[in-house]
Structure 1
Amino acid sequence: MGVTAERPVTRRGIDTLLAEAREQLDRLGPLEADAARAAGALLVDIRYAALRERDGTIPGALIVERNELEWRLDPEGSHRAPEATSHGLRVVVICNEGYASSLAAVSLRQLGLHRATDLDGGFQAWRAAGLPVADGDSGTPLPG
């Protein structure tokens, strides 16, 4: 058996990792994300079910929990969502407050989805901006 040399591990805290991720993104505010959606961008909600049930969802957003994101959005993957049509697809990743979505968007860029970005402030910023929100259980629009 051969001996495998260990690779040196670069240690960075999450704040550094997040800052590095965000340097790669043109993050969108809620109104910009809504305009991108109107222009054909795919909004992808990666929040877990309890948050969607509690706070609602963005009408028309694709729901893909974080642990499945890369498999569902890789246009060449065998488990891709029908919406994952090409590497040129504009994808806006949405988490609850805009932290995990930055890391997730960079992961999608590493898959070749070069137009992936995220929503600055996440779902909470979307809702605070008064943009449409549907009930998390039924998809029924909630009163603004």
Structure 2
Amino acid sequence: MSDGQHDGTGQVGIDELLERVRSGYERLGPDEAKAAAAEGALLVDIRYAELRARDGLIPGALVVERNELEWRLDPQGSHRAAEAVSHALQVVVICNEGYASSLAVESLHRLGLHRATDLVGGFQAWRAAGLPVDV
């Protein structure tokens, strides 16, 4: 394993996987995510309940547990959220620090939600930027 991540079997480490996934779309910073929401993008908080209870919520964000994300955002799905109206919807996925959200975006892209992106640094970056949080 010359690069420390690829072992010659076609398998990659998580760092390389994240790099590959993220190369397929533009991620947003906190201010860009806030501006996108003001223009109609759907902010989706996938953090688990303990983190939301500890740190608070982004006002207006749709809370969807990560394990339900695809079912709730598929515009054709029988379990979709009311907000999941179109494959053209811009979705900004937010996890705690911006890692799990990148993998979630790849899954949403596979569902045809090609405008899906995520927040660099996640909820923690949003809060550090001084953006609104309901506690």
Q: Which residue of 1 aligns with 2:58?
A: 58
Equivalent residues of 1:75, 1:87 under 8 A apart:
yes
Partner residue in 2 for 1:39: 39
Aligned residue identity for 2:70: E
Report the residue type matching 1:116 in the other structure.
Answer: A
Describe the superposition over 1:87-136 as per-residue Cα deviations: whole angstroms up to 9, x where unpaired. Answer: 0000000000000001101110110001000000000000000000002x
The answer for the alignment partner of 2:4 in structure 1 is none
Partner of 1:69: 69
**Structure 1 residue aligned with 2:124:** 124
Cross-structure match for 1:78: 78
Q: How many residues align?
A: 127
- Contact 1:25 1:117 (C-alpha < 8 Å) held by counterparts: yes
Q: Within 5 Å, which residues of 2 pair with 1:1-144?
A: 10-135=10-135
Counterpart secondary structure, 1:40:
coil
Task: Report if the CA contact (8 A) 1:25-1:106 is conserved.
Answer: no
1:45, 1:61 within 8 Å by CA — same for their partners in 2? yes
1:10 Cα offset (Å): 3.2
Give 3-state SS (helix, strand or coil) of 2:98's partner: coil
1:13 deviates by: 0.6
Task: Compute the RMSD of aligned alpha carbons.
Answer: 0.8
Report the identity percentage: 75
Question: Amino acid of the residue matched to residue 100 of structure 1?
Answer: A
Cα distance, 1:84 vs structure 2? 0.2
Structure with bigger gyration radius? 1
Give the match's secondary structure for 2:80.
coil
Report the Cα distance in structure 1 between the residues aligned to 2:114 and 2:11, rounded to whole angstroms: 26
Structure 1 residue runs without a partner (length 5+)? 1-8, 136-144
For 2:82, the aligned partner's letter is P
Q: 1:107 corresponds to which letter in structure 2?
A: S
Tell me which residue corresponds to 1:138.
none
Q: Distance in 1 between matches of 2:121 and 2:25?
A: 14
